[in-house]
Structure 1
Amino acid sequence: MIKKVIADLRTIGRGLILRARMWWLGYGVEIVYIRDTECVVEMDILSPMSSLAFPALMRLRFCLRALDTIQLPAYAGSTWRGLLGHGLRGSVCVTGAPSCDGCLLSGTCVYSTLFEIPAGAPANTPHPFLLELDREAPSRLVPGEEYALGITLIGSAITQAPYLIHALIQAGEQGAGASRGRFSLVRVEAEPRLGSDVWTVLHVPGQIPYQAPSVNEPAPPPAPSGADILRLHLLTPLRIKRAGRLVGAREFVVDDLLKALQRRLHALAITHDVDLGHHIAHYPQPEPATVRLSASRLRWFDWTRYSSRQHRQMQFGGLLGELELEGEGLETLWPSLWLGQWTHLGKASAFGLGAYGLMTGVAKSF
């Protein structure tokens, strides 16, 4: 690739000063033409993908303990989001109005900025938080049993973590599930380095006051060496639309995945005032033809939730299973795929949908 760029620069003409920057093997390479008689190439190896233009992310883990028997639905994302929303609104709303529509405080209210889409903003504006649910957690909790609820805060929402802690404590007093079983907050933990799975205690009610952690921009690790297959394990239902319709398991293609990933990262960058030009430069996308996808292990999962706002049952089904990616474009795609694990993909990410994990492997020989 470098030889090709050098050849292209030689054809431009003499006496020009040209700078071209590209990503090669995960590193920034700067090529400079500076002489009249020849092309001089400087390979300025910039920093690897360690400081990317993207909103800061903070993963929190709320460790809860059941005080009564709690019966949760098969997929509890809607339940926990509803509890957080009701607890937060009850804690911070000063008007007592039944709706946020037309409220003068909507631009600064913590509830509104977390749970409502700002007036005039596009309908697909992403919320600045998302839920992470433990797939192995039981749906029925007995008194004394603990439950881990994950919440990822994005950008400026990180400073609002204490409000969510208070909201969850309030929600525990009101109770969860159909039986309104009460629960208490045992502790709050944070992951200082994104993806490390090493957690530190931020707050223990009555014992350790909340201390805001230091948060940095996401830092994807280098692409795995020697792996020519990436497997995406869909942890919660993935809802992706094409031409206004949800994509099923049989018609899912690589372009659906790449476009959904780029849309998600792009929308978050815009919403959180990231320098978009810088952002796009750090997240190059491969040509679809350079990435092959196998979706043979996908299946459709139906999930129904009741919307208290719309007073009706809603279908929130999506894709579960595994996707396999291989091809020359994987290394270029790696930073975006790595980041997408923590931002989720597709519709209803605030409910915890669209979560996936990355695995690496070696392609089969044919």
Structure 2
Amino acid sequence: MSTAAPRGAAIWGTDCRRPGAGAASATLRPVPIRAALAYTARHPRAVSSAFAMDPTTASLPANPLPAPALRLTRLRFDCDALEPIHLPAYSGSAWRGLIGRSLRHSVCVTRQPTCDGCLLRSQCAYSTFFESPPASPETAARYSALPHPFVLEPGPPGRRTLEPGAPLSVGLTLIGPAGALTPYLIHALQRAGARGLGRQGGRFRLVAVQQETRLGSDQWQAIYRAETATLQPAATQLPAPGAAPDQVRLALHTPVRLKRQGRYLGPRDLDARALLGTLSTRIALLAELYGDGPPAFERAPLHAAIDRITLTPAQLHWVEWTRYSSRQGTRMQLGGVLGTLQLHGPGLTALWPLLTLGQWLHVGKATSFGLGGYRLQPAASPDP
């Protein structure tokens, strides 16, 4: 699969290249994100010229743009291998498929082959996690696929074999109302252990479920233990993002798949507009679908901030990943960019809350497989 892409960036699917000589000047007016999404679908060329405006004419926000109020529940399911488990190079697909099948078998009462037209769809745990969520007509028309209310966090990459008794774990970040469905996931993981994981279906047992008490703290509290079979959910605190640094290192720890004008971006094509525009769109959609509505910031200051951030690649490379889709009956290429990059510029302050929140929401395509994961780290040294 080709990873090359034309220069320029796409934000909300529009052509954001600079206009050529003689292009008409554009004026940006603050428009709520919901209205901007609908207008983009109807008038892509008009939006293209507006977004191509010289960034020096847009006003840079003086304060950080507010991140939406999203309720996040970060869980870790701790298991023990009962048989040898042969894990693939990237286990995200294996975990997602196993959890999805086990959840469907656990909760589906109609036994229909698909969820289309099911009367129980709006009340079904499986449908909530794995089927397209309900959305406004404008949003549904604009996007061919809408984000699911969870992010998968599989174990470290690399082919390996776990012997009986070896520990293994998988993480899930549940978004909004999906957090209330934790008992269904616990039951599904218990059933999944009996089905087995990996190519040979090595069985495992669920031992405990941990919940992070403060997002990003790596402090976990056991909310479920198999020996007691009781669930005691905890509250996950979302800390304030703090002050933005002058520059920050962004470590991509699972492949990031960003698409522009029908082509996936490789390491040489990745820029601030592609990365941060995609991230802001994802957060806006998650807030609309699973939160209290779209974020309160306007598109003009958002794009003014993005235009004032410079992305400097440090060690970026393309990693190819192939998975088999049992639903489609075919192999799929799901490669993406891995490595580290550096962000700096005056726009970093405005986007800092979104960048911080994005660590738990991931960015780009296939986030429900665990792709698009990143962490913010202190910058090694000032840019020359």
TM exceeding 0.5: yes
Instruction: Report the 3-state secondary structure (helix = DSSP H, G, I; strand = E; otherwise coil) of the residue aligned with 2:116.
Output: coil
1:286 offset after TM fit, Å?
A: 4.4
Is 1:58 the counterpart of 2:78? The answer is: no
> Alpha carbons of 1:181 and 1:334: their partners in 2 closer, same or farther (altered >3 Å)?
same
Q: Distance in 2 between matches of 1:304 and 1:53?
A: 34
What is the alpha-carbon root mean square deviation over aligned residues? 2.2
Partner of 1:143: 164
Is 1:228 the counterpart of 2:249? The answer is: no
Q: Which has the higher contact order (CA 8 A, sep 6+)?
A: 2
> Alpha carbons of 1:130 and 1:338: their partners in 2 closer, same or farther (altered >3 Å)?
same
Instruction: Report the 3-state secondary structure (helix = DSSP H, G, I; strand = E; otherwise coil) of the residue aligned with 2:122.
Output: coil
> Is the contact made by 1:228 and 1:326 (CA closer than 8 Å) also made in structure 2?
yes
How many equivalent pairs are there?
318
Partner of 1:74: 89
Q: Distance in 1 between matches of 2:349 and 2:331?
A: 42
Cα offsets for 1:193-239 (capped at 9, x unmatched): 111110000000122511122245x3333125xx4221110010000
Partner of 1:85: 100
> Alpha carbons of 1:365 and 1:237: their partners in 2 closer, same or farther (altered >3 Å)?
closer
Partner of 2:376: 358
1:278 offset after TM fit, Å?
A: 2.9
> Is the contact made by 2:247 and 2:342 (CA closer than 8 Å) also made in structure 1?
yes
Q: Distance in 2 between matches of 1:229 and 1:77?
A: 31
Partner of 1:131: 152
Structure 1's unaligned 5+ residue stretches are 1-21, 29-48
Q: Distance in 1 between matches of 2:159 and 2:356?
A: 28
> Alpha carbons of 1:135 and 1:277: their partners in 2 closer, same or farther (altered >3 Å)?
closer
Q: Report which stretch shifted further, 119-128 or 231-240.
A: 119-128
Find 1:199's aligned residue among 213, 216, 220: 220
Q: Distance in 2 between matches of 1:314 and 1:138?
A: 19
Q: Answer with 1 or 2: which has the greater Rg.
A: 1
> Is the contact made by 1:54 and 1:279 (CA closer than 8 Å) also made in structure 2?
no
Instruction: Report the 3-state secondary structure (helix = DSSP H, G, I; strand = E; otherwise coil) of the residue aligned with 1:98.
Output: coil
What letter is aligned with 1:302?
E
Partner of 1:156: 177
> Alpha carbons of 1:198 and 1:137: their partners in 2 closer, same or farther (altered >3 Å)?
farther
Partner of 2:203: 182
> Alpha carbons of 1:67 and 1:259: their partners in 2 closer, same or farther (altered >3 Å)?
same
Partner of 2:112: 97
Cα offsets for 1:14-37 (capped at 9, x unmatched): xxxxxxxx97455x9xxxxxxxxx
Is 1:260 the counterpart of 2:242? The answer is: no
Partner of 1:306: 324
What letter is aligned with 1:131?
L
Q: Distance in 2 between matches of 1:23 and 1:215?
A: 30
> Alpha carbons of 1:119 and 1:262: their partners in 2 closer, same or farther (altered >3 Å)?
closer
Instruction: Report the 3-state secondary structure (helix = DSSP H, G, I; strand = E; otherwise coil) of the residue aligned with 1:278.
Output: coil
Partner of 2:11: none
1:89 offset after TM fit, Å?
A: 0.5
Instruction: Report the 3-state secondary structure (helix = DSSP H, G, I; strand = E; otherwise coil) of the residue aligned with 1:290.
Output: coil
Partner of 2:336: 318
What letter is aligned with 1:300?
W
1:300 offset after TM fit, Å?
A: 0.5
> Alpha carbons of 1:279 and 1:165: their partners in 2 closer, same or farther (altered >3 Å)?
farther
> Is the contact made by 1:187 and 1:204 (CA closer than 8 Å) also made in structure 2?
yes
> Is the contact made by 1:72 and 1:139 (CA closer than 8 Å) also made in structure 2?
yes
Instruction: Report the 3-state secondary structure (helix = DSSP H, G, I; strand = E; otherwise coil) of the residue aligned with 1:107.
Output: helix
> Is the contact made by 1:286 and 1:332 (CA closer than 8 Å) also made in structure 2?
no
Is 1:172 the counterpart of 2:196? The answer is: no
Instruction: Report the 3-state secondary structure (helix = DSSP H, G, I; strand = E; otherwise coil) of the residue aligned with 1:262.
Output: helix
Q: Distance in 1 between matches of 2:260 and 2:232?
A: 43
Instruction: Report the 3-state secondary structure (helix = DSSP H, G, I; strand = E; otherwise coil) of the residue aligned with 2:172.
Output: strand
TM normalised by structure 1 equals 0.81
Partner of 1:212: 233
> Is the contact made by 2:212 and 2:218 (CA closer than 8 Å) also made in structure 1?
yes
What letter is aligned with 2:352?
W
Q: Report which stretch shifted further, 111-120 or 244-253.
A: 111-120
> Is the contact made by 2:241 and 2:352 (CA closer than 8 Å) also made in structure 1?
no
1:102 offset after TM fit, Å?
A: 1.6
Cα offsets for 1:52-88 (capped at 9, x unmatched): 5322001100011000000011001010001100110
Instruction: Report the 3-state secondary structure (helix = DSSP H, G, I; strand = E; otherwise coil) of the residue aligned with 1:260.
Output: helix
Instruction: Report the 3-state secondary structure (helix = DSSP H, G, I; strand = E; otherwise coil) of the residue aligned with 2:123.
Output: coil
Q: Distance in 1 between matches of 2:336 and 2:315?
A: 14
